[in-house]
Chains A and B, each alone.
Chain A
Amino acid sequence: MLGIVVTDNILMMYIFWELVGLSSYLLIGFWYEKDSAADAGKKAFLVNRVGDLGMFIGILILFTHYKTFTFSTIFEQISLGNLPFDSTGALTAAGILIFMGAVGKSAQFPLHVWLPDAMEGPTPVSALIHAATMVAAGVYLIVKIFVMLTADAMLVIAIVGGVTAFVAATIALTQNDIKKVLAYSTVSQLGYMVLAVGVGAYAFAFFHLVTHASFKACLFLGSGSVIHSMGNEQDIRYMGGLRKKMPITYYTFLISTLAISGVPLFSGFLSKDGILAGTFAFGELTGHWLLPFLGFFVAALTAFYMFRLVIITFHGEPRDKEKYDHAHESKWLMTVPLVVLSVLSIFIFYTPNPLAADAGWFLNDWVRTPQTVVPAEASFDFMQSGMNAEEANLAHDSGIVHSTQYTEAMHHAHYPAMILSLVLAGLGILFAFLFYQWKKVNVEKLAESIRPLYKFSLNKWYVDEFYHATFIGGTLEGSKALAWFDYYIIDGIVNASASVTKVISNLSGWFDHYVVDGFVNFTAFFSGFVGLSFRRLQTGKVQTYLVFVVFAVLVLLLIFRPF
């Protein structure tokens, strides 16, 4: 992990990248005696490898052209107008391919499937992987290559991020396993970050990464505390009323939930609001209105499913009396980190103004959006600063970088976006209370009435099933077919040619024995026969010889008739 962050060499980054993959494989599969854990580890590694392949090809494109793996040199070359293979298409391709690495690592759709399964690992591993390290690596990668992304590449990234946020949020709505809900919420939040990079809200992507890290770690540890006290029960349908039994866990969990739902005064509000404003500005500047729409809709969904989780777990009456009686607050070793992390979700750590993140030190002093190096014709107009190189340099030194046009649009979008997101989050929370706290709506009936949709969400959009039926099944069937082909056809030809040779040699053997040798034997036999026949003549009796002579003379006389 540290390696990924400190290197300026994309090949080194790839190496560390893969090593993180190895660690996650070993950690997720830590309880390797359990088949599901071993499966999950394998799945995480392989799905990540799919993304890594793309990243590797992207690296090859860059290396083949620039003969270097150093980021800064590559960016410098691009800014001088030296594009890979002299085409913006190749630059777009390189950007998207390297982004594929992030799709795998940061669990973006369609490679998000490994992350929820990775819950098979021990809970500290889940918290570590989900909140801090692995998933952050993907976002870090996109942020790192941000300056070389073309307009098309950014659009692709934004769409992937938006779709991921949406898909994961819809799945999280119906899950009953407490860790699964949190896992899909992680995927969804990661979608937000990727979306933010795609729409150019670079700083807010990073900001959301940081805020999300603290409140999601808190949520995971909180869920661990709950699971522990419930005797390893993960299904929220058996929980309820835990608020009284475990107050510290409850309040820290609630604070983090408020943060992730985007309620003001908490960190999640600041970062998410910035991202939403970014999508708004993006929609305004480019006309891609689907992205802000997705962003806002997911904000409402997030508030809804997170409060659903809180209400079912901690409010109401206990559903499983036996387990409830057994439940107790966790020891200080578990509660102290919860408190620390939940406190970190309060706005004051990031900015003095609870409504505007850019007033704080984080965005002002630490993260600066870099100037894109992509040539003007291949990037969005708003990405260009409108300054010439010298001005840009000056501006960079004084800390005012990035496109003014975009910043203006974001400022413009800030308040409408904030109000809209507040309304939507409020609606989400309201509906959650209506559904689960006050039981104004019969949830089962509702689920029954939209059964296909409910099933679709409960079964995670059938993505796993789809992969099993197509890629995995196809590969396995294909490999069996090829093994058959190898054994029966290729090796068959080899063995057949051996058999043919054997038949030919048998034929030659037969020919040799019966024809060639037969002729030899026949010659011998014939000579013998002739010899035998003529032997009869050799009787040794002078009288007989005399008769032959007389007979011969008579025959000769008859033939030549000398007379």
Chain B
Amino acid sequence: MLGFPILSLITFLPIIGMIIILAMPKQKTTEMKYISLIATGLQVVLAVILLGNYDYSAGGIFEEGSFQFIEKFRWIEITGLSWIGTVKIDYFMGIDGLSTPMVLLTALISFIATISSWNIKHSIKGYFALFLLLDTGMMGVFVSLDMFLFYVFWELMLLPMYFLIGIWGGPRKEYAAIKFFIYTLFGSIFILIVMIGLYFSATELLPGGEKVFTFNMLALMDQANYSQDGILSPFNPNNLRLIAYIALFVGFAIKIPMFPFHTWLPDAHVEAPTPISVILAGVLLKMGTYGILRISYPMFPDITRDLMWYIALFGMINIIYGALVALAQKDFKKLIAYSSISHMGYVLLGMASLSSVGITGAVFQMFNHGTITAMLFLIVGVVYDRAHTRGINDFGGLANQMPVYTGFVTVAFFAALGLPSLSGFISEALVFVGAFGESSIRILAIISTLGILLGAAYMLWTFQRIFFGKLNEKWNQLTDLNAREYVMFIPLTIIIIFLGIYPSAMLDIMNTSMNTLIEFMMNGATNFTLSGL
């Protein structure tokens, strides 16, 4: 282990940057940009250090001992008259094979989004301050192991997002911002209710022999900690675990976003400035599926098993529905937004398989979707910056005008449509292998393969409409990529190709944890059933 609290550092580094920026005079815009760049750049460095010291054999998931880089100390303490009135909340962070890919992704995408923010025009001070706050919120969600802390970060990220869309967005920014905010808050309420329900259903035995209610995620996963009569306790014959599970799932599903809770996404994407779209698609959407895997799955293994068919069904709907709606779009950015919905469907499908292969595929897909879709939104941003339109049919023949750009687009598009040797293919294939292997959802997996075909259809059609054919004379002033844009595209391209050829680099990080999770789910599910459910 390292000698310093790396997780706190990686989480709060942006906040330090934010404070510096807030203290600076308004005119020093270039310095502000560089401070953001340094803060997010250091985050990437820390992520690399993290990876260098990562123990590939530690499982995590439910066992505190096998989490890594743990930081744990008392955060809130109210001593009551008896243990029932005592509140003890820990500041508890740690990572395992489930959260590490997400931490890496967040660091990477934040860094690239900072570069992409370079040409933000007005209120630079406010923009970068909020941007860094957002970064902290996202990172915090992925490293928290205490549900209270998790929720704090979860909400923390809402506020900057609201302002970033609402102030720096497009023509309908107010509508999109408020829709995003209310929708997500609506989901958060469900999470909050379930969180409190869980709090009052389970207790944690402290080292001193003292028993207190707990928000500790790991304690909430252990059924031995549940009381006989808690409303979410498996031992209570009249428990509300099914309802709580659905409520929690809806809370997370809004973020994914899962059909039919997805309509905030196209609006938010279309109105948000490019870097915010990149963050939204690259990191924010993963929080939903991460939450399900981190909280819903191990805390409710019994119900997860009962409902897996429905999760797979919604995954299938997401895949097919998202792809079909994407096919009908005329706005480039909206098309990518819907393709995002389709791709997140693969994550749901893989998760629903409840097999190591499928869940590994799902988490890998989360990472790959993060890099590929971030690149796609950057691509939209590049052409929008130059042409000030996103209508797919307005373009044509750009391949000759912007050859380098076309090259990067080719990589991103073919990665998105799942071409072998690029990263998207590996994760999709793993998802299908996992889902197909589970006999109850096999038919859903087979139908979902249509998504591969539709994905190729809308991607190639878009590609043709924008880059092939005769060049519209209107666009003969468009310039090819500049140096800053190269810096954004090259790392993502390298990662997409590298993970397509050598996926084990990422799969090895996840492997032990995924097996632990499945093992825990299966044993947990049996144990839970024994308790008379």
What residues of chain A have their CB less than 8 Å away from a CB belonging to chain B? 11, 14-16, 18-19, 22, 25, 29, 32-33, 35, 38-39, 42, 45-46, 49-50, 53, 56-57, 60-61, 63-64, 475-476, 478-480, 482-483, 486, 490-491, 493-494, 498
Contact = CB atoms under 8 A, between A and B. Distances in A.
9 contacts: A15-B421, A42-B461, A60-B445, A63-B436, A479-B328, A483-B328, A490-B263, A493-B260, A498-B179
Contact of A42 (B259, B263, B421, B464): B464
B460 A494 contact: no
Contact of A479 (B325, B414, B449, B467): B325
A19 B183 contact: no
Interface in B499-519: none
Nearest to B259: A490
Nearest to A14: B420
Given A18-B420, A32-B399, A46 B456 contact: yes
B446 interface: yes
B449 A57 contact: yes
Contacts of A38: 464, 468-469
B329 interface: yes
Contact of A32 (B324, B328, B467): B467
B320 to A, nearest CB: 9
Given A15-B421, A22-B414, A33-B470, A482 B325 contact: yes
Interface of A is mostly: helix
Contacts of A60: 432-433, 436, 445
Nearest to A491: B263
Interface of B: 179, 182-183, 259-260, 262-264, 321, 324-329, 397, 399-400, 414, 419-421, 425, 429, 432-433, 436-437, 445-446, 449-450, 452-454, 456-457, 460-461, 464, 467-470
A494 B179 contact: yes
Contacts, number: 100
Contacts of B399: 32
Contacts of B437: 64
Given A15-B420, A22-B419, A56-B432, A45 B327 contact: no
Contacts of A57: 436, 446, 449
Contacts of B326: 479
Contacts of A14: 420
Given A33-B400, A42-B461, A53-B453, A482 B328 contact: yes
B464 A49 contact: no
Contacts of B433: 60, 63-64
A32 B179 contact: no
A488 to B, nearest CB: 11
The listed residue with most A CB atoms (<10 A of its CB), out of B259, B325, B457, B467, is B325
A22 B446 CA distance: 23
A151 B182 CA distance: 61
Contacts of A11: 429
A475 B327 contact: yes
Contacts of A29: 468
A19 B425 CA distance: 12
A111 B326 CA distance: 25
Contact of B420 (A19, A53, A64, A486): A19
Given A25-B460, A46-B453, A486-B321, 13 more contacts: A14-B420, A32-B469, A33-B468, A33-B469, A42-B461, A50-B453, A53-B453, A57-B436, A60-B436, A475-B327, A482-B328, A486-B263, A494-B263
A475 B460 CA distance: 15
A106 B140 CA distance: 53
A33 B420 contact: no
The listed residue with most B CB atoms (<10 A of its CB), out of A32, A46, A479, is A479
Given A56-B432, A494-B179, A49 B456 contact: yes
Contacts of A42: 460-461, 464
B432 to A, nearest CB: 6
Contacts of B429: 11
B360 to A, nearest CB: 15
Given A42-B460, A60-B436, A482-B324, A32 B449 contact: no
- The 3 A-B pairs at the shortest CB distance, nearest first, are namely A15-B420, A483-B328, A38-B468
A505 to B, nearest CB: 12
A433 to B, nearest CB: 45
A39 B328 contact: no
A11 B456 CA distance: 20
